[in-house]
Amino acid sequence: MQKVEIEEIDRVAIQLSKIPGIGLKSAKRYAIWLGEHTHETKELISYLERLAQNIKSCKKCFNLTSYKDGICGICKDLSRDSSTICVVQSLENLVEIEQSGVYNGIYFILGGLISPLYNTDEVLNRVEYLKKRVKEEKMGEVILVISSTTEGELTIHYIKEQLKDTGVKISKVASGVPIGADINYIDKRTLAEALRSRVYI
């Protein structure tokens, strides 16, 4: 394989390795496969271009949406309980809960956790927006689906402090989620049971 081809493979591998869960070794293997299967690669490029052009974050909950007004289907759904909002760390959490079928309220994605070691300004801004929504929409309950790690507990405490003057009930998942566990790695059934048996804080 000539140097120029190796460089192209490496460039693609570096981009693929930015996807959570894909290491550089696996990324290079995928890049080589894409180089060998150009027809599938061109199809993938087409889908990725459409994804980049049509998908954006929901203005209300930060879910993904293709609606032109920027509001996702869950937030638009009038059959859902809009008085209950489930605060999750990531889009993956939202998808897992939706697939479990145990929750019919609305969501809010934090996009991360508060940490003393990393820049978490975006998370803090989202918590501020959450507070605004809770007040304006007169919500009855905020459910926190957040990891029981050190950063997770710090985030839970911060959200509780920010919402204490709103009068909203605050609960968090407890049963079935081990201490120190990362919510992103809890299986769907355990997460659903933890949501059902949440405790008020």
pTM: 0.82
Residues 48, 72 within the same domain: no
Q: Rounded to 5, what percent of the chain is helix, strand, coil?
A: 50, 15, 35
In tens, the pLDDT along 37-52 reads 999 999 999 999 999 9
Residues 180, 112 within the same domain: yes
Residues 191, 170 within the same domain: yes
Could you give the CA distance from residue 80 to residue 92 in angstroms, rounded to a whole number? 20
Full domain range(s) for residue 167: 64-200
Buried b (16+ CB within 10 A) or exposed e, 14-46: eebbeeeeeeeeebbebbeebeeeeeeeeeeee
Could you give the CA distance from residue 179 to residue 29 in angstroms, rounded to a whole number? 36
> Looking at the domain assignment, is residue 31 inside a domain?
yes
Residues 75, 169 within the same domain: yes
Spatial neighbors of 147 by CB under 8 A, at least 6 apart, are: 89, 113, 181, 182, 183, 184
In tens, the pLDDT along 168-188 reads 999 998 654 544 455 666 666
> Looking at the domain assignment, is residue 86 inside a domain?
yes
> Looking at the domain assignment, is residue 59 inside a domain?
no
In tens digits, what is the pLDDT along the chain, a chain of 201 residues? 566 578 899 999 999 999 988 999 999 999 999 999 999 999 999 999 999 999 999 999 999 999 999 999 999 999 999 999 999 999 988 988 888 888 999 999 999 999 888 889 999 999 999 999 999 999 999 999 988 888 999 999 999 999 999 999 999 986 545 444 556 666 667 777 777 778 888
Could you give the CA distance from residue 39 to residue 42 in angstroms, rounded to a whole number? 5
Could you give the CA distance from residue 132 to residue 113 in angstroms, rounded to a whole number? 19
Q: Give how many domains the chain has, as a whole number.
A: 2
CATH code of the domain in which 28 resides: 1.10.8
Q: In this structure, what is the dihedral angle of CA atoms 133, 78, 90, 108, given to the nearest 10 degrees?
A: 10
Residues 98, 193 within the same domain: yes
